[in-house]
Structure 1
């Protein structure tokens, strides 16, 4: 359970037990529990939606409050990585310069614009998803997002000689992927074909983005992990919207 709490406190603002000292090994071994953290998030989002939907309906206010909740729960952790990643990848510079740009704590125009576009997309998807599927969407979104993150961590080499993300990359292996995958499947299989289709779409998006980033950077970084998580979540929402429209 200790490693689960390491993952929970790293990925979210939910602090159940006091943990002041974490080692690189703690971070690395906690990776297998990322989908379980996503499951906790999903339950919170589900309860929030269950309370709001009867009052607000699937309105603009509902979509905005749901997005604000995701930022509050995670502390906006992955948006920082997403913006840094976009600043680097969209700069069209050399590999070394891209990595330097991503390491800069300042947000550039590419990162800011990409974040705005992503939030607008997420907001629009939450507004447009069929109301009968909205609970499925908010529940599965963080769970599959975390699984997509684990896939990128395990499947691609780390681009830097050191860094926080390297602790995850050095320890994550097929066993990590297996444990995370079993957790994800156990949570999604009872929900039926729509959840499994969202899983397939989300993991495909995570892998393709990881492959693209790795081809440009010579590997992936902690920022790329965060970007992959958010893009996976957006893909889950898009796939559930498509299921509602065309199934």
Structure 2
């Protein structure tokens, strides 16, 4: 039980800005860490629902609420996944050979393509939220989507080959109880899929299918261009998965379903 509690603390300490008690980063304490990774998505989703409800109660306009909801995940996570998105954008846009792409991932400087990607990414979120934010069922589906993306991201860390033998992802994978954690994440995904479809069958199903397709593209991209996954690529996937779900929810909701 103590090991589970420590895994929970480490997951939230690593992937969020939510204050947590200290825990030693040993193999024993980290082996179930990814079981709790999706619950950071739960925190983001819960905050999203609270903010949406409060905005409706206070009578805030759509644009203002959309801006707030766009920055909620960044505030909760500290932008750790967005950093991976931008580093990966620079590496992919370089069209260099594999070794050079991996070097670009480690470069702390932001290139032009990272800046362009950031602008497009946040504008997509803003547009999607402007269509979703005052519909309770659509917001609930997106709130669950923050957990779905983290389940798939965790599965990717545990199952995909690693582009580098050292690094955050390789270290986390070595210290994780891979089979048990992977199976737990799969169970989460089944439950989340059922909930999303129950809330709004067509739109919930479309959102979950989008997450699956983005994951398969992520696997293809990581293997083809980098020879495996890294922490930055995991962040790239998570951001793309979430904004992809948001855009699909917004578009499909425009049609009578």
Q: Same fold (TM over 0.5)?
A: yes
Does residue 141 of the first structure (1) align with residue 145 of the second (2)?
Answer: yes
**Mean alpha-carbon deviation: is it higher for 22-31 or for 99-108?**
22-31
Instruction: Name structure 1 gaps, 5 residues minimum.
Output: none
Please give the root-mean-square deviation of Cα atoms over the aligned residues, in Å.
Answer: 2.1
2:188 alignment partner in structure 1: 183
1:24–1:167 contact (8 Å) kept in structure 2? no
- Listed one character per residue, the Cα deviations across residues 194-241 of structure 1 (whole Å, up to 9, x for unaligned) are 434322211221221232122101111100011111111012112212
The corresponding residue for 2:68 is 65
8 Å Cα contact 1:34/1:146 also seen in 2: yes
2:223 matches 1:223: no
Cα deviation per residue 1:12-67 (whole Å; 9 max; x = unaligned)? 11124x11532366445311222222122211221121111333456111110111
Question: Which shifted more, 112-121 or 189-198?
Answer: 189-198
The 3 A distance-change label for structure 1 pair 56 and 206 is: farther
- 1:137 deviates by 4.1
How far 1:130 sits from its partner (Å)? 7.2
List per-residue Cα deviations over 1:151-177 (Å, max 9, x = no partner): 321331110120111123333634322
The residue aligned with 2:89 is 86
Matches within 5 A, 1:49-198: 49-57=52-60, 59-129=62-132, 131-132=134-135, 133-170=137-174, 171=176, 173-191=178-196, 192=198, 193=201, 194-198=203-207
Name the count of aligned residue pairs.
Answer: 246
**Hey, what does 2:18 align to over in structure 1?**
14
Structure 2 residue corresponding to 1:5, chosen from 4, 9, 18 = 9
Please name the residue that 2:250 is paired with: 241
For 1:44 and 1:220, locate their aligned partners in 2 and report how far apart those are by CA, in whole Å.
30
Instruction: State the alpha-carbon separation in 1 of the partners of residues 177 and 234 from structure 2.
Output: 13
Structure 2: give runs of 5+ residues left out of the alignment: none
Contact 1:38 1:143 in 2 (8 A): yes
Q: Distance in 2 between matches of 1:140 and 1:202?
A: 12
Does the 8 A contact of 2:148 with 2:192 survive in 1?
Answer: no
Partner SS, residue 117 of structure 2: helix
- What TM-score results when the alignment is normalised by the length of structure 1? 0.90
Q: 2:46 aligns with which of 18, 24, 43?
A: 43
